[in-house]
Chains A and B, each alone.
Chain A
């Protein structure tokens, strides 16, 4: 039982490049989330998926897209990376919208 896994752990991109962050959970959770964490700030919600087949914007969705591929997997895509997207990205899942969220180990992304 791995919980929530994220790949990659580290990534460096040049401005304008694209990439997809992968997230998978093996807890049969319905809801999944993507957050970013910047220095001196708490986690901010980018997008979430309350259930398979649905996605909704969070607090800071601009510059990102998501795909809930199936119940297990929820990916985050940066189409044209910008230096302002340098951050640590966390994926999380929960049984339902109000349940305890379990977090992945995070991806440190640097955009130069």
Chain B
């Protein structure tokens, strides 16, 4: 079975500091995509960043970047210069070429002022 594991149920960070959220996945597929989604208390799911497995270069979006280690099946999210608005549940997700998105269990991120 294809699985996505987020081993950190909760994380906290001080405002302006950096935090890294972990994600590992298990698949025998070679062609797939990885995502990080953010879910604030409003419940709205928001895409944070996307990584294509065939790309060696790690994706970045402003203060958000990933460390994609394909051989290790690891896809961590780094948030730099954390802001109060970054507080949310973060979900790692994986989709293979046949298109069924699988989510991890989520990590609750708290940002302290």
Interface residues of A (CB under 8 A from B): 31, 33, 40-45, 48, 50, 58-59, 88, 90, 92, 96-98, 100-103, 105-106
Complex CA gap A41/B91 in Å reads 10
Chain B residues contacting A58 (CB-CB under 8 Å) are 100
Complex CA gap A105/B41 in Å reads 11
Given A45-B100, A97-B98, decide whether A103 and B44 contact each other with a Cβ distance below 8 A: yes
Number of A-B contacts (CB under 8 A): 52
Interface residues of B (CB under 8 A from A): 4, 33, 35, 42-47, 50, 91, 93, 95, 97-106
- A42-B35 in contact (CB<8A): no
- A42-B91 in contact (CB<8A): yes
Chain B residues contacting A50 (CB-CB under 8 Å) are 99
- A92-B35 in contact (CB<8A): no
Given B35, B46, B99, which contacts A31 in the complex, CB threshold below 8 Å?
B99
Complex CA gap A90/B43 in Å reads 10
Chain B residues contacting A97 (CB-CB under 8 Å) are 95, 97-99
Complex CA gap A56/B22 in Å reads 31
Chain A residues contacting B101 (CB-CB under 8 Å) are 33, 45, 101
